[in-house]
Homo-oligomer: A and B are copies of this chain.
């Protein structure tokens, strides 16, 4: 089966315009950035009339939300891969691998990261996005709890550590796509490297120094 042609020589259009639209939008984001994604341009790329997409998406936001769900899946996949590659079972090292994967993906796919992290353009309340987010959050909390149970953390609220590290990697990634590394002394090419080092240092900072009281001694 050719991936282009379809039933009936494509009478009107092939079977799955919806999927084609999302794919085209995803590619357009990647090639030209978020601003370049107009419903009309996506329709043009797929070869349908300007009104056709509205048979599948209520509005531009709904289309971009579908794009964001796809991008979010890729992000989660990258995080998952990074976690898997971390051979150790040390909860803090696993947690670190998650942050590491997040940063690397965000820096490697700035346009897609922009889509998943920009309200105003997507519907954050979509159940799809919500679920995906909740999953990652639960995973992070789990490993952090385990670290605490092993007495590895400085005293402090676990949720605050999780939220803080989430905010940290999110903030570094956003600073990058928002072009805010330029004024940060080091050249932007080192932004990923710097961000990884920052994550590292903060993961170290929250750990109990040997011999000091920990969050939850065994």
Contacts and interface: CB of A to CB of B under 8 A. Distances in A.
Interface of A: 33-35, 117-120, 124-125, 130, 133-134, 137, 154, 156-157, 159-161, 163-164, 166-172, 174-175, 177-180, 182-186, 194-195, 197-199, 201-202, 204-206, 209, 212
A153 to B, nearest CB: 9
Given A197-B160, A202-B164, A204-B156, A174 B170 contact: yes
Task: Give the oligomeric copy count.
Answer: 2
Contacts of A166: 171, 175
Contacts of A119: 177-179
B137 A184 contact: yes
A159 B137 contact: no
A168 B118 CA distance: 18
B178 A124 contact: yes
